[in-house]
Amino acid sequence: MSKAFLLHIDYAATKGAVLRLVLKRQDNGKVFRLFDNSAKPYFYLVPNSDDENVEAKVLKIKTFYQGTEAKPVSIEKVKKKLNGKEIIVLKVICSHPGHVPLIASESKQFGQPFEHQIPFILRYLLDRKLTPMDLVEVKYNGNLVESIAPVNSVELPPLRVLAFDIETYNKNVKSDPKRDPCLMISYATAKRSGVLTYGKKFTEKYVEVLANEKKMLERFCEIVRENHADVIATYNGDEFDLPFLTERAKMLKADFRLGRDKALPKSRKKGIRFASSIGGRIHFDAYPVIAFLNFIGAFKLERMRLQDAALAITGKNLKADIEKKDIHKMWDHGTQKELDYLAHYSINDSIACLAIVQNVLPLQIELAKLTGNLMFDSSRLSAMPLVEPFIMKKSLARGELIPSKPSYSEVSGRDQAPVEGAFVKIPDPGVYEKIAVLDFKSLYPSIIISHNVGSDSYNCQCCTQEGFVSPQGHRFCKKHKSIIADTLEDILDSRFAIQKTMKTMASKESEEYKQLYARQWSLKILANSVYGLTLNPRFRWYTRQGGEATTAWARQFIQEVNKKSEEAKFTVLYNDTDSIFLQYEHEKDVLKFREKINESLPARMELELEDFYPRGIFVAKKGDSKGGARKKYALINREGKIKIRGFELVRRDWSRIARRTQRSVLEILLKEGKVDEAVTLVRNVVAELQSGKVPLDDLVIVTQLRKKPSEYEIKSPEVSAYEKAIKAGLQVPEAVVSYVVTSKGKTISEKAYVREMAKDYDANYYLNHQILPSVLKILSELGITEDDLTTNSKQHTLGKW
């Protein structure tokens, strides 16, 4: 009997229903592996009511799985709930996980199968109430599990992380393991870091020079073993580093046992990407995690390269200036200094990767624990598969059958037309003082909870008279909590509890605080994804009416608050979805108003005060001097902190000089209110631009190509710049193009060249298309015209204010 963290589970399909568990002892941190053959794969069958002899008939089902016979082993009768009613269902037990979907499909003639598409590992975790990354109490004999039970602890497993990165020979456009060797492998752990290479001399001590590439690969495995790595961290190792090394190892016949078993790393398609796994260790690819966090707005990256991510997350700039495409030149005939620099560059990448992973690992562990996914999956999954196990746990606890995945025809039959979205009140452009911003806390989740929205509560039989009725007339049950509402309530409850604890903590730097922060973040991610899923036709708990009702209630609540604000003599400046911008006289009036509103709201809903802002700017929509732009404003709070939304300066597809100038203008106006100072600043920028002395790096425009370059109907500047670069034989990555508008050519597309090819810039373009439009948007609210900025005319004062 011992207590251990459950790090990972996998199973070899060839061996049938035998699971392999990777565990880490709580007392001494030793990792060991056990097998569990006690779990039997199964599914449920709700028999057709008119058929009396279903059991016998089902037992006679025979089908084939990979050429061998597959039939049910036995049948048990169990009680389950379906649509709120308790019924007797058949639990059809099979001998191999692969048989389950086949036998379930055959059984359709006798009834309706349930829970036949649940992956075996998930089935095992759900039935034994086990949580990956959590503590378990396990009893075993030899390497066979006798019993295993959850302990449910807040303790996180202390994982030993080893990050690595490789450099490959790349004379051709892209390295191909069939042709190009791996030149270097660098690695980093909390205690040591180094570089492995071969056949060349290096000055630095951290470089270990092996006899050849094969020896380098084998030495790398040794290092992984010596460090007892639980987690192997990479940046895009899923699709590059691991498949590359594995292929090289096969070709060189190297002993490349990177894992804790004898198998080579495996690569298989997971959704749209490849995922590479290493036996007995967790391969943690930071790239999809960073991409996900960037997507949900945890931070904002212009580019998603390793060094950009490291800078954003750790604040440390580990950038080594090296052109990736020059690596083969440095290797073939670089000077000693260049070779040393290559090693330095490589080790930097491993160190950066380690730093990133150490930073995001707590969040990923928490996410895995919370949702019940293995961390290997939780770090790679999109919202739906991430959330599903979490709701399944709830279903199981309630004794309900889990709805099946919708079939292809069900999916295509579901309404995909857009649901009417949020309410937006357009602001009148201008500068305002004394703005209070209020917003609904977790608006959509709280509406779902307080109105019991859900697929299983919609149009119930029990409360035809007294259900929750949405503005458009959709009715939801008042007696039985929907599974979605139930789940969301759990999520919000634990999030608020964590936030409460965090407020009592003194140090925001402590490990404990960081862990709590990660937990509440993962809860937020989950809560926010549920509303979107209810409208996803592939979701098991899809409810079109639920989605429609949720946004309709949201619109109703916010307009109600607007009405009450006007009654209380506030001016409503702007609304978007869940926020209300009020103009006030006294702060205490706003606080009192908020309290009154909260008294009138359903228990779960709450209006929060975001902040008071002494001054703020809304700008006009282009070509419409009266209507203000949505999602575009700037505010300054009492501490002088500026909050900016939607302006060009937050967009990466604008040049740095335009963004910087716009930011300065906003800052001067919001902080000091001095229009003439802002005008002077712009004039200086204009003069500098016209002198031709602005560094090209400040003029770069970054745009992503979301399609293959050949698939574009319109040749935009970025596509044009990309094509010219390719024609010139330059190696530029397809995904993100950085270009400068030069003086060469007529149209903007013709003038656009990638940064590496640009020799000068078109001052007129940057003046008329970047600087002036971005600052005039703001300054024209204050009576400034284009002429004021480009010629020396009269000074402006703040008279208007």
Q: Which residues bind DNA (CB under 7 A)?
A: 271-273, 287-288, 291-292, 295-297, 300, 382-384, 416, 418-421, 424, 426, 528-529, 532-533, 535-536, 576-579, 621-623, 627, 629-632, 644-646, 650-653, 702-707, 711-718, 720, 747-749, 769, 773, 777
- CB of 166: closest distance to DNA in angstroms? 19
Q: Residue 4 or residue 437: which is nearer to DNA going by CB?
A: 437
- CB of 396: closest distance to DNA in angstroms? 23
Question: Residue 593: which H helix or E strand, with range?
Answer: helix 587-600
The neighbouring-strand residues paired with 312 are none
- CB of 454: closest distance to DNA in angstroms? 17
CA distance 235 to 278: 15
Q: Are 771 and 756 in contact (CB under 8 A)?
A: no
- CB of 357: closest distance to DNA in angstroms? 16
- CB of 573: closest distance to DNA in angstroms? 13
CA distance 353 to 345: 12
Q: Residue 315 or residue 623: which is nearer to DNA going by CB?
A: 623
CA atoms 494, 496, 498, 500: torsion sign: negative
- CB of 749: closest distance to DNA in angstroms? 3
Q: Residue 178 or residue 295: which is nearer to DNA going by CB?
A: 295
Q: Residue 227 or residue 704: which is nearer to DNA going by CB?
A: 704
Q: Residue 461 or residue 710: which is nearer to DNA going by CB?
A: 710
Cβ neighbours around 519 below 10 Å, total: 25
445: nearest Cα among 474, 487, 403: 487
- CB of 82: closest distance to DNA in angstroms? 26
Distances (CA, A) of 640 to 302, 517, 635, 676, 801: 26, 26, 9, 20, 19
Q: Are 531 and 444 in contact (CB under 8 A)?
A: yes
Q: Residue 171 or residue 707: which is nearer to DNA going by CB?
A: 707
Q: Residue 596 or residue 645: which is nearer to DNA going by CB?
A: 645
- CB of 508: closest distance to DNA in angstroms? 24
- CB of 116: closest distance to DNA in angstroms? 23
Backbone angles phi, psi at 8, to 5 degrees: -160, 155
502: nearest Cα among 512, 493, 491, 488: 512
CA atoms 14, 19, 25, 26: torsion sign: positive
307: nearest Cα among 361, 346, 358: 346
Q: Are 187 and 163 in contact (CB under 8 A)?
A: yes
169: nearest Cα among 331, 300, 278, 46: 331
DSSP state letters, 641-671: -EEEESSGGG-TTS-HHHHHHHHHHHHHHHH
Q: Residue 209 or residue 424: which is nearer to DNA going by CB?
A: 424
- CB of 768: closest distance to DNA in angstroms? 8
- CB of 600: closest distance to DNA in angstroms? 21
Q: Residue 430 or residue 532: which is nearer to DNA going by CB?
A: 532
Q: Residue 394 or residue 651: which is nearer to DNA going by CB?
A: 651
- CB of 478: closest distance to DNA in angstroms? 28
The neighbouring-strand residues paired with 426 are none
Q: Residue 304 or residue 463: which is nearer to DNA going by CB?
A: 304
Supply 651's token pair: 């967009």
Supply 217's token pair: 């690969």
320 three-class SS: coil
Q: Residue 47 or residue 454: which is nearer to DNA going by CB?
A: 454
Report the b/e string of 712-732 with b at 16+ CB within 10 A.
beeebbbbbbbbbbeeeeeeb
Q: Residue 299 or residue 801: which is nearer to DNA going by CB?
A: 299
- CB of 707: closest distance to DNA in angstroms? 6
231 Cβ contact list (under 8 Å, min separation 6): 159, 160, 161, 162, 281, 282, 283, 284, 357, 361
Q: Are 547 and 554 in contact (CB under 8 A)?
A: no
Q: Residue 205 or residue 622: which is nearer to DNA going by CB?
A: 622
Q: Residue 345 or residue 766: which is nearer to DNA going by CB?
A: 766
- CB of 620: closest distance to DNA in angstroms? 8
Q: Residue 4 or residue 361: which is nearer to DNA going by CB?
A: 361
Burial of 352 from C-beta contacts in 10 A (0-12 / 13-18 / 19+): buried
Q: Cα angle vertex 445, ends 452, 391, to 5°?
A: 75
Q: How many helices (H) and strands (E) does the chain have?
A: 24, 31
- Location of structure tokens 């036996």: 279
Q: Residue 393 or residue 632: which is nearer to DNA going by CB?
A: 632
- CB of 482: closest distance to DNA in angstroms? 19
- Location of structure tokens 């458009």: 472
Q: Are 159 and 226 in contact (CB under 8 A)?
A: no
- CB of 710: closest distance to DNA in angstroms? 11
Name the DSSP class of 428: P
In angstroms and rounded to an integer, the radius of gyration of the C-alpha atoms of the chain is 30
Task: State the SS3 of 478-508.
Answer: CCCCCHHHHHHHHHHHHHHHHHHHHHHCCCC
Q: What is the largest CA-CA distance in the chain?
A: 96
CA distance 442 to 519: 16
Supply 517's token pair: 């922060």
115 three-class SS: coil
Supply 19's token pair: 């699971």
- CB of 281: closest distance to DNA in angstroms? 22
End-to-end CA distance of the chain: 76
Q: How many residues does the chain have?
A: 801
Q: Residue 287 or residue 570: which is nearer to DNA going by CB?
A: 287
- CB of 347: closest distance to DNA in angstroms? 26
